[in-house]
Structure 1
Amino acid sequence: MKSSQQNEDHFLVSSPSPPGSRRLSTDLVGEVTLPPPSTSSPPMEPSAPQPKRFVRFDVDDELVDSTAASLANRDNDERWTYDEDFLNSSDDDDFAHAVEGGTAPLLTNIAAPSVVVAGLDIDGFEDPASRSGMKMAFMNMANSIIGAGIIGQPYAFKQAGLATGVILLVVLTFLVDWTINLIVINSKLSGANSFQSTVSACFGKWGLISISLAQWAFAFGGMIAFCIIIGDTIPHVMAAIFPGLKDMSVLWLLTNRRAVIVLCVVGISYPLSLYRDIAKLAKASALALVSMLVIVVTVVTQGFFVAKELRGTLSGPLLTLNSGVFQAIGVISFAFVCHHNSLLIYGSLRKPTLDRFARVTHYSTGISMVACMGMAFAGFLTFGDKTMGNVLNNFPNSNLMVNIARL
């Protein structure tokens, strides 16, 4: 009896485990300590097998069936990705659709720091509405290409010769199209988010310094070219429209070259340059494209009404190969340079992918080539060896439509 009581106490009271003992756990008495096995103790009976325990979730069978059906019907992964993208908008569908071999939309951080700041909403998150669609991106890139250089295309044909000028224009267009896309590809491969960072990753510190100086020089030179064009056109237009403007006390400044340049830079160019996001310039770019179209139409149509004494001659070298080929390359290249804006335009897309940006580039360069070709043919065939650097200066100041184009 005493031995039985001791064994009972041994099972009910938790005590330190002696060496070699085993510990079990139970839901009734807590921790139980068993004595170490001995050869004299009877063998223990095998315990009953524990039932397997499963965790069951409440699953909506209808939801599972609908999801499986949608996955089974998704035979075109590319189109499904295109449709399911939350940045997809209907304004892009009217302009371009998904093409075979296209990549899925990839979000990008390619943008200048100022562009990133401008694209943030009040909570600090990026606002997709601040980005532009393919139409607006096309406007920005086409405006970057078709600029002041278009009025110099007839002069480029004069320097290179008609046949050589056509070849140069086509070859340089394809070269520009290829290099613009190459910049974006290099930026993605190098993990850079700007034009300068891409060059720095490829060529190091001196490459960054070189490209920074080159970009500054190009932008500064382009600005000077625009100022020269403004000074050459606006005063003549104002004097032709308002003959008595020179005699007025204050308004005579509109006929002064220097005053007009200052007014246009301070009142138009400077305010537009304050935008942080290049996508905001889409409407201004559209207006600029319309202006370029007016210039091309004016040169094409008004060339038929030019007096005979203002027309030039077309000799042999002017029709085939002339001595100013390298000058022509410079003039045509200046008209097509937009590489410094390529990454900014790519980053402004709502769904920035290489295929979508390639379509924007192809449309922009193609239309720009057609516009430059029409301008060059019309101006050069009209004025021949008398073609000036600014073809609008070949027209008389009394031509109303030409004066409108100068504006």
Structure 2
Amino acid sequence: MESVDDDDFSINSLSEFDIDEVSDREDLGLLGQPNQQLLTSATDSGKSNLWMAFMNMANSIIGAGIIGQAYALKQAGLLAGVLLLIGLSFVIDWTIRLMVTNSKLSGMKTYQSTVKQCFGRTGMFVISIAQGLFAFGGCIAFCVIIGDTIPHILRAIFPHAIDHPASKFFTGRLSAIVFCVIGISYPLSLNRNIASLAKASALALVSMALITLTVVIRGPQVAPDDAHLSARLLTLNTNFFQAVSIISFAFVCHHNTLLIYNSLKTPTLNRFAKVVHWSVGVSAVCCLALGVSGFLSFKNQTESNVLNNFPGNDIMANIARFCFGFNMVTTLPLEIFVCRSVLGEYLFKEEMPTIYHFAITTALILATTGISLLTCDLGVILELVGASAACTMAYILPQMCFLKLSAKPKYDWEKVACYICITFGVIVMLLSTVMTLRHMNSGAHKTCPSW
């Protein structure tokens, strides 16, 4: 199957497709089990080739969370943070592939239906809440970042606008969020097919490369003289578990995983593994480059959005801000797609009618936009959503499903790894949430600028 090109795939290659699928079933110990849903026909497969799937998955990972990686290293300490980021990238790679294994074992095509197959209505409720919360929280984070970045660009282009009340309105945070989300993200969100967002995802990935280069090159040049590093910041800091939440928020794309897998022209374990390895690998390199360079530049003054550490009139930083704002505008529709999919799973047995598709998309866009106008503390959003939804989707539910579905021996290495991962996820969820809420109650959270 390795020799079959995605773009050339046709019914003539069906025999090779069947062989690859049978190989998947052998790997899972399913050969001979009578489940017709396990074999996907060529005519039922989606529209994405491997490259398109890679772009959509990498864009799902390299979203709002990447800008918080320097802050995550500050929270965990440099040494602990780097080791944590590398370790979690391997864990995420495994859990993403585990989800597809669970899908094949259960004969289900979505994350929700897989969990429902294992744990009934209770499982369906938990996964739906987790998926919806993560995607919805991601949308809020994206809107907050748009408000952090685009106004700097507008004030750089129109430097005298801030002196005039009428012009100030159009270059302010509120206007930037409303105009960008309603004018650009909203039309993209109305797409029904996730494969159609691949071109926007490709442009977003290019913008993230520019952002990473900006932080790596320009960060040391504008580093403040009064910033410093302590022993804790260099080794292990007290907010380690909050750092886990922030990194998890960045890497978790489990709510999109089966959507992307099922959009492949030829959905098999081997082909999808390539997409996962490349997506997680590229994302980890970008997160490390941006996180380490940003943290070493701004040290104890590193903000949750590292671009906020750059001066407002810095040309290269403003280009990066524009690229990041554009990335958020084009990534937000992927999260809206997931929110809408979760609601559709509950409300409709078949395809969502056009009127409801339009109404639900509009409601989601208005809700996330409205909430983002009330808060601008990106760190708190990343920590809370990462601790709750991300931990549930990545470190708890896939492992619980595998333990329920797999016929492997009790002490098989993968089952033991699942128990360890579940324990880790529960600990992070509880401790990180408590510590973040204490931080919020202390009044130390960031307040929004008047503009």
TM-score by length of 1: 0.69
For residue 256 of structure 2, what is the amino acid of its counterpart? N
Q: Does 1:365 align with 2:280?
A: yes
CA distance in 2, matches of 1:373, 1:386: 18
**How many angstroms does 1:102 deviate by?**
6.0
**Unmatched 5+ stretches in structure 2:** 10-15, 25-35, 323-451
Percent identity between matched residues is 57
Residue in structure 2 matched with residue 330 of structure 1 by the alignment: 245
CA shift, 1:244, in A, is: 2.4
Give the Cα–Cα distance (whole angstroms) in 2 for the partners of residues 307 and 319 of structure 1. Answer: 17
| Other structure's SS at 1:237 match | helix
Go from structure 1 to structure 2 and tell me whether the alpha carbon gap of 1:109 and 1:277 turns closer, same or farther (over 3 Å shift): farther
Pair 250,268 (structure 1): closer, same or farther in 2 beyond 3 Å: farther
The yes-or-no answer on 1:89 pairing with 2:7 is: yes
The count of corresponding residues between Structure 1 and Structure 2 is 302
Paired letter, 1:335: A
Task: Select 1:153's aligned residue among 58, 63, 69.
Answer: 69
> 1:356 aligns to what?
271
Distance 1:88 1:398, change over 3 A: closer
Give the Cα–Cα distance (whole angstroms) in 2 for the partners of residues 159 and 358 of structure 1.
Answer: 32
Partner Cα separation in structure 2 for residue 345 and residue 109 of structure 1: 18
Contact 2:56 2:260 in 1 (8 A): yes
Asked if the contact 2:75/2:240 (under 8 Å) is kept, the reply is yes
Which of 254, 259, 273 matches 1:339?
254
Matched to 1:390, the amino acid is: N
Listed as ranges, the gaps of 5+ residues in structure 1 are: 1-77, 92-97, 111-124
Deviations 1:154-206 (A, max 9, x none): 00000111110011101110111111111111111111111110110011110
Query: Post-superposition shift, 1:337?
Result: 1.0
Amino acid at match of 2:236: L
Tell me the residue number matched to 1:319.
234
* Alpha-carbon distance in structure 2 between the residues aligned to 1:133 and 1:250: 48
Match of 2:158 in 1: 242
**Cα distance between partner residues in 2 of 1:249 and 1:390:** 27
Shift of 1:315: 1.2
CA distance in 2 between partners of 1:320 and 1:247 (Å)? 45
Q: Does the 8 Å CA contact 1:172/1:333 hold for their aligned counterparts?
A: yes
Change (3 A) 1:287 1:232: same
2:121 aligned with 1:205: yes
**What is residue 298 of structure 2 aligned with on the other side?**
383
After TM superposition, the structure 1 = structure 2 runs for residues 170-319 of structure 1, keeping only pairs within 5 Å, are 170-246=86-162, 252-309=168-225, 312-319=227-234
Report how far residue 305 of structure 1 moved. 1.5
Q: By how many angstroms is 1:104 displaced?
A: 5.9
Does structure 2 retain, via aligned residues, the 8 Å contact 1:105–1:352?
Answer: no
Cα offset for 1:145?
0.4
Give the superposition deviation at 1:89: 3.0
Q: CA RMSD in A?
A: 2.7
Q: Deviation digits for residues 296-329 of structure 1, max 9, x if unmatched?
A: 00001102321543x5111111111110101100
Task: Give CA deviations for 1:227-264 in whole Å, capped at 9, x if unaligned.
Answer: 11111111122112211234678654431211111111
Q: Deviations over 1:352-390 (max 9, x none)?
A: 110000110000001100000001111000011111111
Q: Once structures 1 and 2 are overlaid, which stretch shifts more, 286-295 or 241-250?
A: 241-250
Higher-Rg structure is 1
Higher helix share: 2
4+ residue runs over 6 A deviation = none
AA aligned opposite 1:375: L
Rounded to whole Å, the distance in 1 between the matches of 2:23 and 2:47 is: 14
Q: Distance in 2 between matches of 1:347 and 1:307?
A: 45
1-side partners of 2:242 and 2:260: how far apart? 29
Q: Could you tell me which residue of structure 2 aligns to residue 45 of structure 1?
A: none
Alignment of 1:162-177 (within 5 A): 162-177=78-93
Query: For 1:176 and 1:401, how far apart are their aligned partners in 2?
Result: 33
Aligned position for 2:444: none
Q: Secondary structure at the match of 1:243?
A: coil
- Please say which of residues 366-375 and 213-222 is displaced more in the overlay: 213-222
Preserved CA contact (<8 Å) 2:57 2:279:
yes
Q: How far apart are residue 334 of structure 1 and its match? A: 0.4
CA distance in 1, matches of 2:108, 2:167: 51
Q: C-alpha deviations, 1:12-51, integer Å up to 9, x for none?
A: xxxxxxxxxxxxxxxxxxxxxxxxxxxxxxxxxxxxxxxx
- Indicate which of 22, 42, 47 corresponds to 1:131: 47
Following the alignment from structure 2 to structure 1, what is the Cα–Cα distance between the partners of residues 81 and 20?
A: 35
Amino acid at match of 1:284: A
Counterpart amino acid of residue 378 in structure 1: S
Please tell me the residue identity of whatever aligns with 2:194. Answer: I
Contact between 1:105 and 1:351, CA under 8 Å: does it hold in 2? Answer: no
1:163 maps to a residue whose letter is: L
Contact 1:187/1:195, CA 8 A, preserved across alignment: yes
